[in-house]
Amino acid sequence: MSLLEQLEKHEGRRKFPYTDTVGKLTIGVGRNLTDRGLSDDEIDYLLLNDVRACTADLQGFEWWSRLDAVRRDVLTEMRFQLGPAGFRAFKGTLAAVALGDYALAAERMLKSKVARVQAPKRWQTLARQMRTGART
């Protein structure tokens, strides 16, 4: 048995965080998040995987390939923040995007609870980018 196999046998393998026997938040194969956390490389790896999952999901929309890079990024960020179900709940916004009416899509984005209460500055930026197709 290799070292890695033995470590996994003894530590277990967990996809979700748990509290270990001494009260440390742990994940994976014995990764002590409480004391060690994640390295910048690990954070970047997780972020890239999450963005890839979001864009793979968004490619299922028939209008996705017609969007410019900025609007794709807006929708990817929305999908990232909201998750698949939360993103799909933006039916009016998505319908406006499908029609190419980006001003209406931005208006509908700003009427959401997340835009009004949870992250207003972030969503003001996203709505402006949706409306204009520009990063600034």
Q: Write the pLDDT tens digit of every residue in 27-51.
A: 999 999 999 999 999 999 999 999 9
Residue 16 C-alpha from the chain's centroid: 17
Is residue 77 located within the same domain as residue 116? yes
Please indicate, yes or no, whether residues 51 and 78 belong to a single structural domain of this protein.
Answer: yes
Predicted pLDDT of residue 64: 98
First to last CA, the chain: 55
Instruction: Read off the pTM.
Output: 0.90
Q: Count other Cβ atoms within 10 Å, centred on residue 123.
A: 22
Shared domain check, 46 and 104: yes
Condensed to tens digits (0 to 9), the pLDDT of residues 71-116 reads: 999 999 999 999 999 999 999 999 999 999 999 999 999 999 999 9
Q: Beta strands 25-28 and 14-19: pairing type?
A: antiparallel
pLDDT at residue 136 in the model: 79
Q: Are residues 47 and 103 in the same domain?
A: yes
Q: For residues 20 and 51, state if they share a domain.
A: no
Same domain, 73 and 107: yes
For residue 103, CA distances in Å to 63, 110, 114 come to 16, 11, 18
Instruction: Report the distance separating Cα 37 and Cα 127, nearest Å.
Output: 34
Same domain (yes/no): 25, 70: no
